[in-house]
């Protein structure tokens, strides 16, 4: 029975290919979206992930960087710097704002650096210098490509024109690009002087980051200190949280589409084969055995679709990332596993939808010419 | 918020947005926040206001007033509400455009493949009828044209059904997750999608062309 | 060998529709079939032959009546039990062959065997034997689309025999075959009944088959009656000239002491309006055809 069902599927190879391709596209939609979400979420936390701080200190009540506002007076920076166990402190000023390039506008995270900075600035450069002086900016390479800017061109942060002196790598995402400017410029833009947003603290050799967190909060009032891993976790969680519902929505739509496509394929297959299925019933095949065989057909088609979608995604995602550098995409094992489980659900549902069709086949019609 | 506790006194409608929900607090509380945070000893040096929302007298001319404000406060920019909203919307489109553009592209590929599979099944199931038509003298091109027209007619019926379905799903999503505003009947995207579906219909109906061209009209004599 | 009753049908009635649209497709049919018997069922189109065959094979439930196959009352069985009865006890041979396109000759033959748990090795041996006996060896791995009509029907016969059922039901097995292939198939069926002791009910219009049948039954308007095994008594309808079997004719009229038989009510009415127009023979004689069925 199973052999017959599988061979029947291959009787019309073109139909089978189109059916698998369509269902695979529906799964690809889900994988792509998950890949984009995973990639962009990682990019959102790229700054926190890559700068080499052990402890982050911020205004009390703040616990992440993404879309947060934090102000700490400069004198608290000095306080932390003088604490035992602190090997170094770099303070940054931080602003979510829109950056203008010609008539284009881009949402960005502007990080004001105290220059020279050892570890709070860009961690990888494509071109130019990494430490912006007053009146200068370091922008993501991808951002520069998209806006057709280069070293020596200018961009506008609020009402301030800054000259591009460096192109950084791994600092661009659609939701936020990280632009580095001199802290003095940002203080001027914000009209806020002698303040910082975050302190990036290095712990000494004999102090663990956790111990340092406790020491800082004990010594300095109205600040919140977190180890780098905790801070990163908070940021990542927030970024993921923003997309969870959308992901669920897209996954549901993709799954529904896949169910419809597989169900239609199975329905067409049963319709095409209804005479043969009637004959099989006449010869003694039970409804149950036919249901199982059709269900296995559905599983086969869905499995093939999942495999095609996964392979296509694995090949496509890096290519798409090169072609559309603005979008960061990551193919995760979790998303492929998710698709596989979803695929099983799709197959079973699609097969169930054809059960009534099979039950209604009349074995006596085998005698009709 | 930022280490300050606020008691919820009211729940607004329409102020939620995907990335930027709006919460409203009393301005005095904001002053307290600044005092508490020790950010500035002298508040006169600290920026206290983000935006000024200006109401005009009934006979005032917007453009004139805007110019006068800009002359009086050179460090400020003045926008009419619609212009500001447009700028924000444009920013949203730039930010999310490539992502959703890519997904819509994949969805378009799905659309073509779905149309193809449906037309393939339709033609396959009617091989005998089409064979009879060939025997009676209809050309391959004519039969292909028939199939394309059928696909376009199916699409014409499917589009309003699809729009209706989209409206229902949008209402459902918005009732379950009111954060999302879904506008399936916006004119430009709707027209674009309709045209795209027409193209899908034509491309998809070309898939069974091989079946049509290889149909043997002599089959009419076989049972 | 011929004493065991393999099939017993009692007072079978099958109606379709209701009220004034009700059609009695099978009207109080009773028959029994002994082991090794080859029974022919003949009758005009629409007489209920296929319906009767479907009921006997457990494909259709009768409106009333019972069917026993090898002592089992299949009419009393639930729907879920019937497939196994069909797989084990009934072999079907269809006019349209109904081979499964995706399977090879050998796979088609083995298909019913796979419906029964266990015994796959024995089935494979039986399949090999059937393939040889029915001269399908060179076509073992061919797909149905590449077979001739005769080959397809031989595959169908082999498939019907694979589970060694006591009963074979064949509906117009030669209907789609040329005369040589048709004769070949008939002889195979005859040999199966005679040599293997399988009981066969054969529905056909083919008069040549009468020569090999043990019994001939005539089904018309759902009712069954025995046909004499002797040759036909064909007479001509005086109005349209069509030949009519004198023994089974339903429409008759007498004119000047002579009986005339008609194929249809219309012919009867025309005759009765103007008998002299149609009576060409001398009184006492109606044109009789030769009993072999040939019409002059």
- In this prediction, residues A329-339 reach a mean pLDDT of 83
Residue labelled with tokens 């014409």: B156
User: Angle, to 10 degrees, between the axis of helix A2-9 and the axis of helix C105-114?
Assistant: 140
State the DSSP code for B219: G
**pLDDT in the model for residue C249:** 78
Tell if the CB–CB gap between B110 and A26 is shorter than 8 Å: yes
- The answer, for A350 touching chain B at a CB cutoff of 8 Å, is no
Q: Is the pLDDT of residue C58 over 80?
A: yes
How confident is residue C198, by pLDDT bands cut at 50, 70 and 90? very high
Burial level of C177, CB count in 10 A (0-12/13-18/19+)? buried
- In this structure, the number of other CB atoms found within 10 A of the CB of residue B46 comes to 16
Q: Is the pLDDT of residue C44 over 90?
A: no
Q: How far apart are CA A366 and CA A278, in angstroms?
A: 6
Do the Cβ atoms of A136 and A115 come closer than 8 Å? Answer: no
Question: Which one of A11, A289, A364 has the shortest CB-CB distance to C102?
Answer: A11
Identify the residue among A11, A16, A282, A366 best suited for mutation to test binding to C, counting C beta carbons within 10 A and taking the highest.
A282
Chain C CA closest to residue A363: C59
Chain A CA closest to residue B116: A18
Q: DSSP secondary structure string, C73-98?
A: EGGGS-TTTHHHHHHHHEEEE-TT--
State the DSSP code for C192: H
The larger pLDDT score, comparing residue B76 to residue A128, is at: A128
Burial level of A14, CB count in 10 A (0-12/13-18/19+)? middle
Q: How far apart are CA B157 and CA B162, in angstroms?
A: 9
Alpha carbon of A113: minimum distance to chain B alpha carbons (Å): 19
Tell if the CB–CB gap between C115 and A1 is shorter than 8 Å: yes
Chain B CA closest to residue A261: B114
Q: Which residues of chain A lie closer than 8 angstroms to C115, CB-CB?
A: 1, 283-285, 289
**pLDDT in the model for residue C289:** 43
Assess whether the previous peptide bond of C60 is cis (omega < 30° from 0): no
Alpha carbon of A259: minimum distance to chain C alpha carbons (Å): 26
Do the Cβ atoms of A142 and A210 come closer than 8 Å? Answer: no
For residue A259, give every residue at least 6 positions away whose Cβ sits within 8 Å of its Cβ, in sequence order, or none: A346, A349, A350
Q: Which residues of chain B lie closer than 8 angstroms to A268, CB-CB?
A: 117, 121
Sign of CA dihedral A211, A216, A219, A222: negative
- The answer, for A280 touching chain C at a CB cutoff of 8 Å, is yes
Tell if the CB–CB gap between A285 and C84 is shorter than 8 Å: no
Q: Which chains touch A (3 or more CB pairs under 8 A)?
A: B, C
Tell if the CB–CB gap between A28 and B38 is shorter than 8 Å: no
**pLDDT in the model for residue C227:** 64
Q: Which residues of chain B lie closer than 8 angstroms to A62, CB-CB?
A: 2-3
Mean pLDDT of chain A, nearest integer: 87
Tell if the CB–CB gap between A25 and B106 is shorter than 8 Å: yes
* Phi–psi pair at B191, nearest 5 degrees: -65, -45
Question: Would you call A72 helix, strand, or coil by DSSP?
Answer: strand
How confident is residue C2, by pLDDT bands cut at 50, 70 and 90? low
Q: Of A20-24, B77-81, C194-198, C240-244, where does mean pLDDT reach its minimum?
A: C240-244
For residue A99, give every residue at least 6 positions away whose Cβ sits within 8 Å of its Cβ, in sequence order, or none: A105, A106, A107, A108, A110, A155, A156, A157, A177, A179
The larger pLDDT score, comparing residue A90 to residue C228, is at: A90
Q: How far apart are CA A20 and CA A304, in angstroms?
A: 7
Tell me the per-residue pLDDT of B170-188, one tens digit each, with 9 for 90 and over: 998 888 877 777 888 889 9
* Phi–psi pair at C89, nearest 5 degrees: -110, -10
- In this prediction, residues A263-292 reach a mean pLDDT of 87
CA dihedral C58, C61, C65, C71 (to 10 degrees): 20
- The answer, for A241 touching chain B at a CB cutoff of 8 Å, is no
The larger pLDDT score, comparing residue C239 to residue A38, is at: C239
**pLDDT in the model for residue A240:** 76
Q: Of B98-112, C111-125, C180-194, C224-238, where does mean pLDDT reach its minimum?
A: C224-238
Tell if the CB–CB gap between A283 and C86 is shorter than 8 Å: yes
**pLDDT in the model for residue C291:** 36
How confident is residue C281, by pLDDT bands cut at 50, 70 and 90? low
CA count, 13 A, side-chain hemisphere, B3: 18
Digit-by-digit pLDDT tens for chain B (223 residues) are: 766 778 899 988 877 766 677 888 888 877 776 666 665 555 555 566 788 999 999 898 888 999 999 999 888 889 988 998 888 888 778 777 777 787 788 788 888 888 888 888 888 878 888 888 887 778 888 888 988 998 899 999 999 999 999 999 899 888 887 777 788 888 998 999 899 989 988 888 887 888 888 877 776 665 5
Question: Which one of B4, B118, B177 has the shortest CB-CB distance to A61?
Answer: B4
- The answer, for A4 touching chain C at a CB cutoff of 8 Å, is yes
Chain A CA closest to residue B2: A61
Question: Would you call C126 helix, strand, or coil by DSSP?
Answer: helix
* Phi–psi pair at A166, nearest 5 degrees: -155, 150
Of C6, C8, C7, C10, nearest to C65 (Cα)? Answer: C10
Q: Which residues of chain A lie closer than 8 angstroms to B3, CB-CB?
A: 59-62, 222, 224
- The answer, for A271 touching chain C at a CB cutoff of 8 Å, is no
CA gyration radius for chain B? 30
How confident is residue C230, by pLDDT bands cut at 50, 70 and 90? low
How much is the ipTM here?
0.73
How confident is residue C250, by pLDDT bands cut at 50, 70 and 90? confident
- In this prediction, residues A110-137 reach a mean pLDDT of 94
- In this prediction, residues A94-103 reach a mean pLDDT of 84
User: What number of C-beta contacts closer than 8 Å exist between A and B?
Assistant: 119
Tell if the CB–CB gap between A367 and C100 is shorter than 8 Å: no
CA count, 13 A, side-chain hemisphere, A265: 38
Q: How far apart are CA B122 and CA A350, in angstroms?
A: 20
Tell if the CB–CB gap between C84 and A275 is shorter than 8 Å: no
Strand runs (DSSP E) across chain C, as ranges? 5-16, 23-34, 38-42, 64-69, 72-73, 90-93, 167-171, 199-203, 215-220, 223-227, 234-236, 243-245, 251-255, 258-262
Q: Is the pLDDT of residue C140 over 90?
A: yes
Of B196, B208, B191, nearest to B112 (Cα)? Answer: B196
Tell me the per-residue pLDDT of C15-40, one tens digit each, with 9 for 90 and over: 988 888 888 889 899 999 999 999 99
Tell if the CB–CB gap between C103 and A281 is shorter than 8 Å: no
**pLDDT in the model for residue C1:** 47
Q: Is the pLDDT of residue C290 over 60?
A: no
Tell if the CB–CB gap between A284 and C80 is shorter than 8 Å: no
Q: Which residues of chain A lie closer than 8 angstroms to B207, CB-CB?
A: 14, 18
Tell if the CB–CB gap between C111 and A4 is shorter than 8 Å: yes
Q: Which residues of chain B lie closer than 8 angstroms to A38, CB-CB?
A: none
- The answer, for A215 touching chain B at a CB cutoff of 8 Å, is no
State the DSSP code for A135: T
The alpha helices in chain B, defined as continuous H runs, are 27-36, 62-72, 81-124, 127-136, 140-176, 187-204, 209-214
Question: Which one of A8, A275, A283 has the shortest CB-CB distance to C87?
Answer: A283
**pLDDT in the model for residue C292:** 34
């Amino acid at each position: 029975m199973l052999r017959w069902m599988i061979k029947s599927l291959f009787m019309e190879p073109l139909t089978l290919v189109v059916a698998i391709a369509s269902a695979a596209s529906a799964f690809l939609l889900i994988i792509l979206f998950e890949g984009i979400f995973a990639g962009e979420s990682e990019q959102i936390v790229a700054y926190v992930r890559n700068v080499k701080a052990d402890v982050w200190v911020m205004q009390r009540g703040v616990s992440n960087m993404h879309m947060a506002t934090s102000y700490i007076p400069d004198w608290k920076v000095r306080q932390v710097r003088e604490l035992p166990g602190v090997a170094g402190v770099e303070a940054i000023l931080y602003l979510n704002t829109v950056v203008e390039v010609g008539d284009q506008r881009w949402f960005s995270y502007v990080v004001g650096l105290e220059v020279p900075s050892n570890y709070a600035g860009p961690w990888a450069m494509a071109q130019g210098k990494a430490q912006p002086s007053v009146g200068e900016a370091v922008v993501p390479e991808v951002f520069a490509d998209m806006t057709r800017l280069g070293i020596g061109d200018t961009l506008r942060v609020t009402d301030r024109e800054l000259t591009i002196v460096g192109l950084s790598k791994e600092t661009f995402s659609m939701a936020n690009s990280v632009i580095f400017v001199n802290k003095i410029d940002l203080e001027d833009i914000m009209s806020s002087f002698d303040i910082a947003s975050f302190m990036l603290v290095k712990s000494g050799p004999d102090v663990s980051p956790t111990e340092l967190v406790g020491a800082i909060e004990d010594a300095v009032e109205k600040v919140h200190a977190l180890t780098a891993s905790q801070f990163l976790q908070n940021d990542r969680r927030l970024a993921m949280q923003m997309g969870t519902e959308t992901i669920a929505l897209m996954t549901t739509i993709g799954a529904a589409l896949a169910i419809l496509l597989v169900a239609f394929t199975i329905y067409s297959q049963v319709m095409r084969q209804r005479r043969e299925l009637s004959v099989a019933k006449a010869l003694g095949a039970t409804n149950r055995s036919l249901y199982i065989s059709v269900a296995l057909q559905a599983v086969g088609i869905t499995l093939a679709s999942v495999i095609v979608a996964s392979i296509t995604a694995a090949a496509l995602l890096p290519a798409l990332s090169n072609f559309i550098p603005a979008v960061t995409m990551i193919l995760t094992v979790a998303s492929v596993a998710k698709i596989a489980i979803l695929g099983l659900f799709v197959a079973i549902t699609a097969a169930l939808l054809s059960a009534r069709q099979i039950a209604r086949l009349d074995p006596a019609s085998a005698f009709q010419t | 918020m930022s280490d300050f506790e606020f008691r919820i006194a009211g729940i607004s409608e329409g102020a939620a947005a995907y990335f930027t929900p709006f919460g409203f607090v009393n301005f005095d509380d904001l002053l307290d926040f600044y005092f508490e945070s020790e950010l500035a000893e002298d508040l006169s040096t600290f920026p206290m206001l983000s935006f000024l929302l200006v109401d005009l007298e009934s006979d005032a001319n917007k453009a004139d007033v805007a110019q006068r404000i800009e002359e009086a406060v050179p460090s400020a920019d003045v926008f009419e509400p619609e212009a500001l909203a447009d700028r924000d919307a444009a920013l949203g489109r730039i930010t999310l455009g490539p992502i959703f553009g890519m997904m819509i592209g994949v969805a378009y590929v799905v659309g073509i493949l779905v149309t193809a599979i449906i037309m393939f099944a339709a033609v396959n199931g009617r091989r005998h009828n089409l064979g009879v038509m060939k025997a009676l003298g209809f050309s391959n091109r004519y039969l292909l044209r028939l199939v394309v027209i059928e696909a376009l007619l199916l699409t014409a019926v499917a589009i309003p059904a699809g729009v209706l379905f989209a409206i229902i799903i949008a209402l459902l999503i918005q009732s379950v997750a009111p954060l999302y505003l879904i506008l399936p009947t916006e004119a430009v995207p709707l027209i674009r999608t309709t045209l795209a579906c027409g193209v899908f219909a034509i491309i998809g109906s070309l898939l069974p062309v091989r079946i049509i061209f290889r149909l043997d009209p002599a089959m009419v004599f076989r049972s | 060998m011929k004493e065991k009753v393999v099939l017993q049908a009692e007072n079978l009635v099958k109606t379709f529709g209701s009220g004034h649209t009700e059609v009695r497709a099978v009207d109080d049919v009773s028959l029994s079939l002994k082991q090794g018997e080859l029974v022919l069922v003949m009758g005009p189109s629409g007489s209920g032959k296929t319906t009767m065959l479907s009921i006997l094979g457990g494909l259709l439930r009768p409106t009333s009546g019972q069917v026993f196959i090898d002592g089992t009352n299949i009419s009393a069985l639930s729907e879920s039990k019937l497939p196994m009865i069909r797989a084990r006890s009934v072999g079907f041979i269809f006019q349209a062959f109904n081979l499964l396109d995706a399977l090879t000759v050998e796979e088609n033959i083995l298909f019913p065997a796979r419906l029964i748990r266990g015994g796959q090795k024995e089935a494979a041996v039986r399949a090999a034997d059937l393939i040889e006996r029915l001269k399908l060896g060179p076509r073992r791995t061919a797909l149905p689309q590449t077979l001739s009509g005769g080959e397809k029907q031989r595959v169908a016969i082999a498939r019907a025999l694979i589970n060694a059922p006591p009963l074979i039901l064949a509906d117009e097995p030669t209907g789609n075959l040329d005369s040589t292939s048709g004769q070949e198939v008939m002889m195979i069926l005859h040999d199966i009944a005679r040599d293997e002791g399988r009981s066969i009910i054969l529905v056909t219009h083919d008069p040549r088959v009468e020569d090999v049948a043990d019994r001939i039954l005539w089904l018309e308007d759902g009712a069954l009656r025995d046909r004499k095994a002797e040759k036909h008594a064909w007479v001509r309808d005086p109005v349209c000239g069509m030949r009519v079997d004198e023994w089974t004719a339903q429409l008759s009229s007498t004119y000047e002491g002579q009986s005339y038989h008609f194929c249809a009510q219309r012919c009867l009415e025309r005759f009765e309006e103007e008998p002299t127009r149609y009576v060409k023979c001398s009184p006492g004689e109606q044109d009789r055809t030769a009993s072999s069925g040939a019409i002059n």
